[in-house]
Amino acid sequence: MSHAEMLLVALALDALFGEPEWLWSRVPHPVVAMGRALARAETALNHGPARRARGVAVVLGLGAAAALLGGLIAALPDAGLLEAVAAATLLAQRSLADHVSAVAGALARSLPEGRLAVSRIVGRDVTALDGPGVARAAIESAAENFSDGVIAPAVWFLLLGLPGLALYKLVNTADSMIGHMSPRYREFGWAAARLDDAMNWAPARLTGGLICLAARSTAAWRGMRAEARQHASPNAGWPEAAMAGALGVALAGPRSYEGRAVAAPWMNSGGSRTPGPRDIARAVALTWRAWGIVLLALGLLALAG
């Protein structure tokens, strides 16, 4: 099978089965294994002098190991079936849809339940969020994680097969764990943050375009191009601004991280500032439509090949 054909199979398997608890409760999920390796390396090496160099060595070393393991799986003479199955475990469309949809259901029942559900998928403080704040956080998570949990892995698999996808997931996991600006991680996590920015640069912009295309909204396209660069992240603003314009809601804005107020600008500031469970569901549906466009494009690519 070509990379396009294997990716089609992987996306379909992920959509059908997601992350089955019966399996991952018995054996470590690959991303969990990556996280454990990173945590051990951080504990052993994030101290003393040359922390930035140590962080570079960790990301490059573990990234090379992940890519090598992916290469060994890809080399098996099984017509690419195991490679497609392995890729499916590293894609997250079904998991994303389930987790974000759970926030919509919880928020519809009560604000405390909504806060608890959204706390599982975002890093910001949720204790003071009102209903619209919970909804905004869930919608932003849907947009950003559609980029780095679905489109970016798919892009790197299409380009470099399972080794590229495994390398991307290692870097993305490292960024989420150590790629922060806190005193503890500023130096040690520098390489993880910079490499993650680089590997997500094109996929984030592609994701924004896919969301606009799925919404059939030129207004979302204009808004994305005008406002994406206002985001603190060089990449997250593209899918979030596209989602804001596509849904007609205002996203981002002031929020709190670890007790620290962040005066972030609004995206689509003229949109509704009172989104609710229905808008969360619309965001999830929009990611599925964009996912369908990807599936169609891959099908055409596979036929052309």
The pTM score is 0.94
Q: What is the pLDDT of residue 259?
A: 60
Q: What is the pLDDT of residue 124?
A: 81
Q: What is the pLDDT of residue 184?
A: 93
Can you say whether the dihedral through the CA atoms of 150, 153, 156, 161 is positive or negative?
Answer: negative
36's CB contacts (< 8 A; 6+ apart) are 28
Domain that holds residue 69: 3-304
Q: What is the DSSP string of 211-226?
A: HHHHHT-HHHHHHHHH
Q: What is the pLDDT of residue 30?
A: 96
Q: What is the pLDDT of residue 88?
A: 97
209's CB contacts (< 8 A; 6+ apart) are 221, 242
Q: What is the pLDDT of residue 131?
A: 96
Read off the pLDDT of residues 36-56 as tens digits, 9 standing for 90 and up.
Answer: 999 999 999 999 999 999 999
What domain count does the chain have? Answer: 1
User: Mean pLDDT per 10-residue run, the chain (305 residues)?
Assistant: 94 95 92 97 95 97 98 92 96 97 97 96 88 96 97 98 98 95 93 97 98 95 93 94 96 73 83 96 98 96 84
Q: What is the pLDDT of residue 68?
A: 98
Read off the pLDDT of residues 93-104 as tens digits, 9 standing for 90 and up.
Answer: 999 999 999 999
253's CB contacts (< 8 A; 6+ apart) are 136, 264, 265, 266, 273
